[in-house]
Amino acid sequence: MLRRQALGVPQVDAEVRQVATDMLRLMHEAPGVGLAAPQIGLPWRLFVANPTGDPADDRVYINPVLSKPVGPQQPYEEGCLSLPDIRVEVIRPFGITINALDINGQPFEAAADGLLARIWQHEFDHLNGRLIIDKMSRLDRVMNTKKIKGLELDYGMQG
């Protein structure tokens, strides 16, 4: 599932809202700052995010589209709930704009930089079947070879 392109959510109904609510709970329990539907086995273009951990900052992004990258590409160490114990330096634009539907199906646009922009880009990668291991430098790949091989064996992943 993690390597597949996710499908658009045709309508925001009670099931989608319940899944989003459950994903926010799972994200906090992990703990993490974001979680995409493919990470829980659903082929939906949906993710949740919260850069602060404060439940008031919980956000749901349905059928997101990223645009308008701004600022220089910056390296930052990222982890992923789907790839435990693997940390990778990933280069991404400092800022980005997102258009999506919220948990009530209402369209919105937002722009962010720093950590929130990075979370959006990381989770958006999940919706397109991309993982942080796809963005590894040669050094990161060497440093994480055993962990990656173990995950590939455990989950039939191909990195």
Q: Residue 42 burial by CB count (10 A; 0-12/13-18/19+): exposed, middle or buried?
A: middle
Catalytic residue among 29, 77, 78, 123: 123
Distance separating alpha carbons of residues 98 and 14, to the nearest angstrom: 24
> Is residue 78 annotated as part of the catalytic site, yes or no?
no
SS3 103: coil
Tokens of 2: 């993690």
Query: Prior bond to 31 cis, omega within 30?
Result: yes
Residues designated catalytic: 123
